[in-house]
Structure 1
Amino acid sequence: TANAPLPVESLDHEALPSTWAKARVDALLEKIDQNGEDKASIDEIIQLSRKYKFVTPYTSFLAAPRSLLRPRVIRPGDPILRVKTDPSIRSVIAIFPFGLIKPLKFLKNEDVWQTRFLAPAGMSDGTHQVQLILRDEQGNAYREQKSFVIASKPPVVRAKLDRTSYRRGEAVRLQVSASATTRTIVARMYGVAPVRLTWNAEARSNTGEFRIPDDLPAGEYRLIVSGEDFAHNIGTQEVSLAVVP
């Protein structure tokens, strides 16, 4: 065996931590784009950009109180915009992309700022930007840009059974694909408790199952699968199954 002194710190790959940090920030930004902002992700992005000194969409707000937009997905007929801010903020004004300017009211019991507005009926589905003007207790003003999603169409739901006929006591296994904005998927059938489907990474689908009750009469039944998105639009699909003696 041979012994060799090891350095306290290797400088052979000094850029590696910074490269990893940038990849981590890219992953967090992708998560925010898909699911909306959350405080933990924003804090981690800012911490990494400060430590490794690179630019992110949040870099310009490092010294400013940050805000979180809720809900991120909005129906054209859903008039509520909610914003959670740093406690030092004393007023919030929203400037919408279609020209509307609305002050927000602070709801003390919920610790959020809120306003009601109507997105124009002709506003296209997709991601849009809203400017927030925040003013703190010292009179300092901050401008932040947030994104929200207009969703007027219900999610598309596609259900598939493992077969079309079952005997009493057998398990019915479901696979359901749905639009990316779908939040919950529930299957309902007469005589059976509602079944909530969850994402199954191995099957690359939403899956769930239920058992045919022992006392369910034989016959044809309708299974209704409904998917609800983050804007509370609901899409459904109906499939038939037979219960045989």
Structure 2
Amino acid sequence: GATGEETSKEVERVLKPFLQRKITTVKNIAMEGVKISRVYPKSLRIFGGMQGAISFIEKSEPYTDAKITLATSDDEKFEAKVGEISQNDFIPRLWAGRRVDYLLGQIQKNGERKEWVDEIISLSKKFTFITPYTAFLAAPRAVLRPRVIQPSDPKLIIDAPGAVRVVAELPWGEQIVAKKNAKTGFWEARFLVPQNVKDGEYQCNLIITDKNGAQWQQKQKFVIDTKPPEIKADIKPKKIHPGEVAILKVYAPQDTRTILAKTPDGKTIELHYDSKLAASTAKWSIPDIPAGKYKIRFVATDFAGNQTETESEIEIVK
């Protein structure tokens, strides 16, 4: 057989030409007269002289002589004509595969959502490829709700259609037989969080049994969260007249579920997230109340049910 030195030289001979090639990153893709979306992969890195594939959705069908332009991280541009659509009939399946990979990544990071699972199943059936959700289509699947829980309210709610028995194995060794709620149709498992368990993401194993006695195991992630969200509130303008409109603004972390403002006239206003401002906002029409300084109380609740409050002052002048 070959010696270690001979093997090393052979590996170097094969790989060195590739490693010495320039790496190019595609940072933008555009098509003449057509809006595109859902581009996969988000960033394509390839060695010079090698091929790569980017797939995306077009809002309308382009002309065959329309130009498609790629821009790289080195400020280089490459152009080509679209060509006949019939010559590229493999692309929809390529895009579907990339879309499924993206959705599976989102589920791995954020937990299952029904719309993501439904789309994965729909695409895999249409283009006939296997995914974790279609390899065993007969298996009863489960969705864990809520994904974020509070130790003071330790209950897992499990949506497992078709199941006759659900057992939850928790990461600290406890095993619980879930009970089905006749009103909601969901399975519920109550438990106690040990004192030594810290905040963070954990994984439980669900053992699901169907009416025929078949069993499946499925892992689901959940988050233990005991810390209330830290928020910062602001009101603009600080001085205002009755009949005018004040802008209420709250900066809060991503795991904040709701933010409510309690105004001096007894109203409760819900704030909604504004991506442009990177904050949750609402408008308050100033009522005809006596002039003076008032405090507005803001209450924020996260997905685990933790709450925090803060106040901000506004002065009404006449």
Same fold, judged at TM 0.5 (above) = yes
Structure 1 residue 46, shift from structure 2 partner: 2.5
Moved more, 94-103 or 167-176: 167-176
Q: Give the Cα–Cα distance (whole angstroms) in 2 for the partners of residues 55 and 127 of structure 1.
A: 28
Separation in 2 of the partners of 1:30 and 1:205?
27
Question: 1:233 aligned to 306, 311, 315, which one?
Answer: 306
Deviation at 1:54, TM superposition (A): 5.3
User: What CA distance in whole angstroms lies between the structure 2 residues aligned with 1:192 and 1:32?
Assistant: 41
Q: CA deviation at 1:206?
A: 1.3
> Partners of 2:287 and 2:250 in 1: how far apart?
22
CA distance in 2, matches of 1:200, 1:34: 23
The one-letter code matched in structure 1 to 2:270 is: R
Q: Alignment partner for residue 17 of structure 1, among 89, 92, 99? A: 92
- The alignment-based identity, stated in percent, is 39
CA contact (8 A) 2:235 2:313 kept: no
- State how 1:191-206 maps to structure 2 within 5 Å: 191-206=265-280
Kindly indicate whether structure 1 or structure 2 has the higher relative contact order, using CA contacts under 8 Å at least 6 residues apart. 1
Unaligned 5+ residue runs, structure 2? 1-82
Whole-Å separation in 1 of the counterparts to 2:132 and 2:222 = 16
From 65, 69, 77, the equivalent of 2:152 is 77
The gaps in structure 1 that reach 5 residues or longer are: 1-6
Deviation track 1:194-218 (CA, whole Å, cap 9, x = no partner) reads 111112233332110111211x112
Match of 2:123 in 1: 48
Distance 1:49 1:122, change over 3 A: farther
Matches within 5 A, 1:35-114: 36-52=111-127, 56-58=131-133, 60-87=135-162, 89-114=163-188
Query: Take 1:12 and 1:240, find their aligned partners in 2: how far apart are those partners?
Result: 62
Q: Which residue identity lines up with residue 226 of structure 1 in the other structure?
A: V
Q: CA RMSD in A?
A: 2.5
Shift of 1:83: 0.8
Please give the alpha-carbon distance, in whole angstroms, between the structure 1 residues aligned to 2:224 and 2:136.
Answer: 25
SS in 2 for 1:10: helix
Is it true that 1:154 corresponds to 2:228 in the alignment? Answer: yes
Query: 1:243 deviation in Å?
Result: 1.5
Preserved CA contact (<8 Å) 1:126 1:149: yes
Q: CA deviation at 1:94?
A: 0.3
Size of the aligned set, in residue pairs, is 236
Q: How does 1:75-224 map to 2 (within 5 A)?
A: 75-87=150-162, 89-214=163-288, 216-224=289-297
Cα distance, 1:233–1:132 mapped onto 2, change above 3 Å? same
Preserved CA contact (<8 Å) 1:76 1:121: no
Greater Cα offset, 152-161 or 40-49? 40-49
Find the structure with the greater CA-based Rg: 2
Q: Secondary structure at the match of 1:21?
A: helix
